[in-house]
Structure 1
């Protein structure tokens, strides 16, 4: 992932004038390994060394130069925890291993998201030049062509349901990988709904109907509010509501919720 991090860091070079990247990485490592820190705490500590630098750029540089992990507790059931960081080496108690070949990552990506093109994986991973890995793996893969002639790769024993297989409604969280896993997202996001599940850098929770993006959802007090992008027939709405109730029984067992249509995007 380091090449993707290096490209991200290039966007902040202007705010890092006069900052030695190696010195910043060493100092940031000392700070977060001495005591796990939030991004705000790390930013303030680095500003003491480089008071003229852009504070946000300093924190981003530390994140891009070091393999940082969010320590527990982070994702808490029903609420969020504070993001607190240390290095992966410090958290795991062992030094980092040499960067492995991307071949294993390609296979794991295809297991989750295949059939997919080389470009699909590059967009998902933020990496480039993965064609060589796909070519090395070609004897172990099967290939197809999509409607536009793009070559798609998949694992030989991967499930490939019949196109007419019913896809029940599904409620997805923010930033779900299903919506981020391909360069061509029309396989999940209809062209007319492109961009409707994002606003700036905010991602909304999404609803899939028949395998495609069909709306948004949120919890509002004791109600599950669902905003659909198009009209759903009565039978389809009942399927969506039933799936919402099933989800709520898992998320909040023993709590009564109303499921109703409404507005999610402000």
Structure 2
């Protein structure tokens, strides 16, 4: 039986921060394979090819880029649309288990601009035709749209391609999604790419447990923001007897796994450079556990970019980017507040290690640039 609200333990903002960083392997780098890490993190946001590599570098000891590239080549990790109908890197098992559950999210992706373009269309026939085309060989999204447009004349090819992307679980075949790979992805149905690999279909209960393991303690709104799914209240009520329930500083109900790590709020959090579009910043409706609303506009830009961030004492204290010129690579830092000397030195050390990780050539000079106070 649930305890009265007044009897529940209150979790401070710092307690939420440290718990989340512990789940996200940002309090200390871990000794895991790329596959183990992607599974534990419940996927990695992957709109662009390089951020997932940097995301693993910031979390794993001795991580090398080839480890992730090889895992994709060997079909142990796949790049495809999953949560929020957004590209993620997922383990093959999770992709098979989770993608059917996320079908409603992908159907909502056809609303808006595509809704009018697809009105009156026999969608099942279009999807069947696309499946036949993809059964012959992989195609890019543009190729699919153009081929279908030859049969369904007058339909916008971009909307036809969107219909297929949102109705079929399509893998972006390597080298798409690999380090510095920017060519258009060839697409193939997940089952065709993985062959005999099987996984039981996940339930929404399963998904909540995995979400809390990677991002908890969290509210049901947080679970919705991460996944794009609705209906979490019924899920939480079914699982309530096996969950810990806390209260946040604002009175919100926070669900968690009983044995998940919840470090002391005073646990030291080392400086970290977090990748662009990192799920740390995208997996909660309320991001205040890592990002102050005051700084949100400097991280989430008007053109849809989520900038790389600097964590100091566990919270976003600035942004970073890499600038490359002939034989030189520089991490440019933009602090949001004045940093102490110790913090600056810690960030500079991380930045130089990041440059070594991202370098593609010998003899490249590395530097760090950035003011000590806000610009």
Q: TM-score, normalised by structure 1?
A: 0.90
Give the number of the structure with larger relative contact order, counting CA–CA contacts within 8 Å between residues 6 or more apart. 2
Establish whether residue 203 from structure 1 lines up as the match of residue 312 from structure 2.
no
Give me the whole-angstrom Cα distance separating, in 2, the residues matched to 1:147 and 1:245: 37
Unaligned runs of 5+ in 2: 1-101
Question: How many residues were matched structurally?
Answer: 262
Counterpart position of 1:6: 107
Counterpart position of 1:139: 241
Unaligned runs of 5+ in 1: none
Map 1:1-266; keep pairs closer than 5 Å: 1-11=102-112, 12-94=114-196, 99-199=201-301, 200-221=303-324, 222-252=329-359, 255-261=364-370
Give me the whole-angstrom Cα distance separating, in 2, the residues matched to 1:75 and 1:44: 23
Task: Decide whether the 8 Å contact of 1:17 with 1:53 is kept in 2.
Answer: no
Give me the whole-angstrom Cα distance separating, in 2, the residues matched to 1:153 and 1:220: 41
Counterpart position of 2:57: none
Give me the whole-angstrom Cα distance separating, in 2, the residues matched to 1:96 and 1:2: 18
Give me the whole-angstrom Cα distance separating, in 1, the residues matched to 2:256 and 2:106: 27
Cα deviations across residues 135-157 of structure 1 (Å, max 9, x unaligned)? 22222211100011111111111
The offset of 1:61, in angstroms, is 1.1
The offset of 1:99, in angstroms, is 4.1
The offset of 1:186, in angstroms, is 1.1
The offset of 1:173, in angstroms, is 1.5
Give me the whole-angstrom Cα distance separating, in 2, the residues matched to 1:47 and 1:168: 53
The offset of 1:18, in angstroms, is 3.5
Give me the whole-angstrom Cα distance separating, in 1, the residues matched to 2:232 and 2:146: 38
Question: Against the structure 1 CA distance between its residues 238 and 97, is the aligned structure 2 distance closer, same or farther, given a 3 Å change threshold?
Answer: closer
Judge which range, 233-242 or 149-158, deviates more. Answer: 233-242
The offset of 1:111, in angstroms, is 0.7
Give me the whole-angstrom Cα distance separating, in 1, the residues matched to 2:262 and 2:287: 18
Counterpart position of 2:17: none
Give me the whole-angstrom Cα distance separating, in 2, the residues matched to 1:213 and 1:32: 43
Cα deviations across residues 170-221 of structure 1 (Å, max 9, x unaligned)? 1112211110111111111101111322222222222222212222222111
Give me the whole-angstrom Cα distance separating, in 2, the residues matched to 1:178 and 1:227: 19
Question: Against the structure 1 CA distance between its residues 27 and 80, is the aligned structure 2 distance closer, same or farther, given a 3 Å change threshold?
Answer: same
Task: Decide whether the 8 Å contact of 2:106 with 2:167 is kept in 1.
Answer: yes
